[in-house]
């Protein structure tokens, strides 16, 4: 018995010494890693500007203005907004393939440029490594992209390779579903499609071991005649992402979002390298013959996270504050806008949607988070009239767009699809809005 106690005591002593050595190694590693991090220069875009800068440029006197930049009947649909590395704004009326550019922070706009991409194409992805702007098309399985090397003035088509994720490989191997093309397969229930139509702009990752990766929201869409809200679970659509580590030549499909009936997503990378995924949900119904009383969660946005550069998604939540607006009380949601302010060391996110809790498509509103999407303490109405899909970007440091937040959204006085409006504002303007009761405005913002 005494021998056993001595043996245990010796083992304990050895263990404590080992733990002490381990602690020393951890502290040493942390010191070295911190020193190495301090030596890493601040990331800069291909235009030579810092990718992130100070907070104060987004503050000062409250600023807001708004103008109509696209008009025409009742079919002015699908706003896509991007900001080039040099600060040039690109506003796309996607369904019509009409692009306008602004080189002065949205003060003035070019004439309409007819572009070769549009409906069913991925939103624009600005490659901060090269300055190129990409838009990807996956719908027909003749995978390709268009690339601009002059900040949106001209575009060239390129072929690309899309690599399936493990679920897609399994579906193909078992013969349950194969990837569809545009050659008559839209009537075949044994097909699925890949697309990223009406998602938000892609991002270039700035932090961690996947720094420089191009990442964009995408959707896995089994073919079915029913609206996404009315489908059987086997035909449910799922958000995912596509990412490229070679400048856009090859793209990998990520794992699926952790809940089905999701599409039209938006991504933001936080300062610690985590990636926030904010998604539309189609958990309600579309066909009025299926009418029922909606649950509260069916009117709200879905969120998830990636800790590996967008390869997998976890931590599903139903956000208690952010509405999935514009479902006409049927709970099928709407494309929303999302952007992170390029402020070094802070995770300030801005979200846009109609503030109608899944009701009418009106009351375009923006919400702000100061803690990387944990809470959303302030919102402000942008436009009270008819308004639908929206897209957002934030001004880049050292460019004419610096210090401004930009919002492109469907909606004019006549109807939600009669035109597109472009709004510019700063963070101070949002702060004069309405408190949501979800969290507080941090002290550091006013110090």
Q: Find all residues with CB under 8 Å of 232, minimum gap 6, and list them.
A: 224, 226
Mean pLDDT, to the nearest integer, of 207-222?
96
Query: What are residue 427's phi and psi, to 5 degrees?
Result: -65, -35
pLDDT at 119: 87
Across 7-11, 58-62, 92-96, 359-363, least confident range: 7-11
pLDDT at 38: 37
Where does the pLDDT of residue 184 fall: very low under 50, low under 70, confident under 90, or very high at 90 and above? low
CATH number of 43-445: 2.120.10.10
* Distance between CA atoms of residues 387 and 361, nearest Å: 5
* Distance between CA atoms of residues 343 and 210, nearest Å: 20
Whether 140 shows a pLDDT value over 90: the answer reads: no
Most confident of 4-8, 181-185, 242-246: 242-246
Counting Cα atoms < 13 Å in the Cβ hemisphere of 102 gives 21
pLDDT at 10: 29
* Distance between CA atoms of residues 367 and 378, nearest Å: 6
Whether 2 shows a pLDDT value over 70: the answer reads: no
Contact 400, 105 (CB under 8 A): yes
DSSP helix/strand/coil, 343: strand
pLDDT at 7: 33
DSSP class per residue in 172-239? HHHTS-EE--SSSGGG-TTEEEEE-BTPPP-EE--SSTTTT-EEEEEEEEE--SS-GGG--GGG--EE
Across 37-51, 75-89, 93-107, least confident range: 37-51
Q: Find all residues with CB under 8 Å of 27, minimum gap 6, and list them.
A: none
pLDDT at 266: 97
Whether 182 shows a pLDDT value over 90: the answer reads: no
Whether 29 shows a pLDDT value over 50: the answer reads: no
pLDDT at 288: 94
* Distance between CA atoms of residues 308 and 163, nearest Å: 18
pLDDT at 11: 32
Where does the pLDDT of residue 185 fall: very low under 50, low under 70, confident under 90, or very high at 90 and above? low
pLDDT at 33: 37
Other Cβ atoms within 10 Å of 61 Cβ, number: 7
Q: Which of 85, 195, 100, 65 is closest to 150 using CA atoms?
A: 85
Interval 30-43: pLDDT, tens: 333 333 333 345 68
Other Cβ atoms within 10 Å of 161 Cβ, number: 11
Counting Cα atoms < 13 Å in the Cβ hemisphere of 265 gives 36
Strands 250-253 and 161-163: parallel
Contact 299, 324 (CB under 8 A): yes
Mean pLDDT, to the nearest integer, of 230-259?
97
Percentage with pLDDT > 70 across the chain: 89
pLDDT at 183: 55
Across 18-22, 132-136, 260-264, 334-338, least confident range: 18-22
Whether 314 shows a pLDDT value over 50: the answer reads: yes
Mean pLDDT, to the nearest integer, of 422-431?
98
Where does the pLDDT of residue 23 fall: very low under 50, low under 70, confident under 90, or very high at 90 and above? very low
Interval 216-239: pLDDT, tens: 999 999 999 999 999 999 999 999
Across 41-50, 155-164, 231-240, 367-376, least confident range: 41-50
Buried b (16+ CB within 10 A) or exposed e, 290-304: eeeebeeebbbbbbb
Mean pLDDT, to the nearest integer, of 395-412?
98
Other Cβ atoms within 10 Å of 139 Cβ, number: 20
Strands 214-222 and 203-204: antiparallel
Whether 279 shows a pLDDT value over 50: the answer reads: yes
Mean pLDDT, to the nearest integer, of 74-95?
95
Q: What is the mean pLDDT of the chain?
A: 89
């Amino acid at each position: 018995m005494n021998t056993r106690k001595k043996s245990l005591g010796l083992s304990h002593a050895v263990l404590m010494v080992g733990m002490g050595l381990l602690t020393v190694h951890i502290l040493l590693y942390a010191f070295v890693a911190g020193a190495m991090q301090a030596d890493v220069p601040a990331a800069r875009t291909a235009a030579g500007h810092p990718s992130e800068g100070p907070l104060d440029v987004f503050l000062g006197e409250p600023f807001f203005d708004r103008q109509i930049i696209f008009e025409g009947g009742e079919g002015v649909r699908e706003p896509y907004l991007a900001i080039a590395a040099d600060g040039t704004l690109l506003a796309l009326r996607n369904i019509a393939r009409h692009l306008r550019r602004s080189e002065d922070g949205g003060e003035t706009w070019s004439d309409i440029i007819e572009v070769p991409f549009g409906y069913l194409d991925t939103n624009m992805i600005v490659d901060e490594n090269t300055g190129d702007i990409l838009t990807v098309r996956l719908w027909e399985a003749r995978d390709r992209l268009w690339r601009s090397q002059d900040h949106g003035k001209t575009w060239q088509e390129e072929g690309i390779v899309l690599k399936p994720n493990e679920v897609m490989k399994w579906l193909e191997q078992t013969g349950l579903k194969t990837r569809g093309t545009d050659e008559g397969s839209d009537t075949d229930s044994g097909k699925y499609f890949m697309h990223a139509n009406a998602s938000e702009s892609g991002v270039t990752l700035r932090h961690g071991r996947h720094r420089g990766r191009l990442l964009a929201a995408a959707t896995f869409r089994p073919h079915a005649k029913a609206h996404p809200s009315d489908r059987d679970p086997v035909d449910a659509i799922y958000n995912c992402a596509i990412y490229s580590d070679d400048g856009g030549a090859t793209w990998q499909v990520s794992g699926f979002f952790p809940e089905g009936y999701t599409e039209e997503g938006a991504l933001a990378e936080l300062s610690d390298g985590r990636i926030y995924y904010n998604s539309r949900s189609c958990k309600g119904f579309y066909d009025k013959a299926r009418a029922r009383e909606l649950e509260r969660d069916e009117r709200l946005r879905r969120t998830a996270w990636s800790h590996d550069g967008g390869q997998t998604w976890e931590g599903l939540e139903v956000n208690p504050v952010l509405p999935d607006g514009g479902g006409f009380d049927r709970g099928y949601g709407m494309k929303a806008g999302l952007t992170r302010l390029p402020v070094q060391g802070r995770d300030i996110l801005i979200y846009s949607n109609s503030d109608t809790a899944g009701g009418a498509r009106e009351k375009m509103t923006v919400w702000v988070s100061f803690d990387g999407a944990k809470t959303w303490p302030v919102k402000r109405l942008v436009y009270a009239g008819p308004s639908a899909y929206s897209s957002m970007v934030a001004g880049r440091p050292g460019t004419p767009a610096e210090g401004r937040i930009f919002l492109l959204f469907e909606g004019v006085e006549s109807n939600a699809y009669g035109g597109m409006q472009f709004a510019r504002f700063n963070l101070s303007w949002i702060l004069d809005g309405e408190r949501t009761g979800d969290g507080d405005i941090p002290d550091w913002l006013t110090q």
